[in-house]
Amino acid sequence: MKGVKLGLIGDPVDHSLSPVMMRAALRARGLEGDYHLLPTPARLLDERLDEVRADFRGVNVTVPHKRRVMDRLDAVEPEARRVGAVNVIVNEGGRLVGHNTDAAGFYRALERADALPGEALVLGAGGAARAVVHALVSAGWLVGVHNRTLERAQRLVEELGGWLVVPGKLEKAVRRTPMLINATSVGLGDPNASPLPEGWLPEAGVVVDLVYAPLETRLLREARAAGLRTLDGLGMLLGQGALAFELWTGQPAPEAAMEAVLREEATRWKP
Ligand code: NAP
């Protein structure tokens, strides 16, 4: 294998920002190597993993394989097992080991922004919400969880901690929380969609949106107009990518270089 050969397994993968971020990281550290998009329909997943085992230092994993890849690896780190998703594979001399850097990457983004109120309300119960709730609960935060499909949120809190916020209590919970986190996919690809009715915002504090296409979602726009602090989805993307880079290369991630290209690329997004 020549240099640090990295890639992304998923379906689709063509809109990913990971190649620009990881190439910038390799360049900044003076490492030879490349980051390849590896479009992988479900029926080709086993073949793709053989290819990774033979030829790659590691890969990211994205939709729809984050869960199903777990059974096919040689080992899965306990944190990834708990979250129920692998987003990074490290090839340790032919042994494929699964990690989850979404959870720690999200927390790293909050630390970097010095936004750590110790209490949050999370909207969503999919893969991203699971990573976020796991990160916050592990750090000792008080975490409320609401989701359109309530049973899914109920299962999430039973497995990972936090408490369920039912629809009748949602408006009050939103107003009182010091940190509101949108971990649903509402807003993705649509600058006019919001996961909450207009005017439902915290009275004070921070609003975080994991969506990064577009960077400025309707929720963040409304929050900023109401004088609240906002954090967009690039923080988590950068955090998970920085941790992945460190796992693959053993070197500290050049976060400033990674963030600069990410922000440049993400602001080019058009509906
Ligand atoms: P997912 O597993 O498909 O979960 C989607 C979530 O959104 C579910 O909770 C779903 O609720 C909810 N949802 C979808 N449509 C909705 C609607 N119309 N109204 C209310 N709720 C709705 O997706 P995911 O992987 O968790 O990703 C969620 C978002 O996070 C995506 O926008 C993704 O791009 C973003 N993300 C960002 C990062 C980052 O690094 N910044 C990392 C991962 C994900 P139901 O359970 O009711 O269907």
193-212: pLDDT as tens digits: 999 999 999 999 999 999 99
The closest alpha carbon to 89, from 104, 70, 108, belongs to 70
Verify whether ligand 1 is closer than 6 Å to residue 102 (CB atom): yes
Of the pLDDT bands very low, low, confident and very high (cuts 50, 70, 90), residue 2 is: low
Taken in order of first residue, the domains within the chain and their CATH numbers are 4-100+240-266 (3.40.50.10860), 104-232 (3.40.50.720)
150-203: pLDDT as tens digits: 999 999 999 999 999 999 999 999 999 999 999 999 999 999 999 999 999 999
CA gyration radius, the chain: 18
**pLDDT recorded at residue 65:** 96
Contacts (Cβ under 8 Å, ≥6 apart) of 232: 209, 211, 212, 215, 216, 217, 220
**pLDDT recorded at residue 268:** 85
Q: Please identify, by atom number, the ligand 1 atom nearest to the C-alpha of residue 184.
A: 7
Q: Please give the torsion angle defined by the CA atoms of residues 55, 61, 62 and 64, in that order, rounded to the nearest 10 degrees.
A: 90
**pLDDT recorded at residue 269:** 81
Q: Hey, is 171 helix, strand or coil?
A: helix
Residues labelled catalytic: 66
Verify whether ligand 1 is closer than 6 Å to residue 144 (CB atom): no
Per cent of the chain over pLDDT 90 is: 96
For 65, other C-beta atoms within 10 Å of its C-beta total 22
Question: Using an 8 Å Cβ cutoff, are 65 and 40 in contact?
Answer: yes
60-84: pLDDT as tens digits: 999 999 999 999 999 999 999 999 9
Predicted TM-score (pTM) above 0.75:
yes
11-63: pLDDT as tens digits: 999 989 999 999 999 999 999 999 999 999 999 999 999 999 999 999 999 99
Give every strand in the sheet of 163-164, ordered side by side.
Answer: 163-164, 142-146, 119-123, 179-182, 206-209, 229-231
Q: How high is the mean pLDDT of the chain?
A: 96
Distance 18 CA to ligand 1 centre (A): 19
- To test the ligand 1 pocket, which listed residue (106, 152, 185) has its Cβ within 8 A of the most ligand atoms? 185
d(CA 48, CA 195): 36
- To test the ligand 1 pocket, which listed residue (184, 219, 240, 263) has its Cβ within 8 A of the most ligand atoms? 184
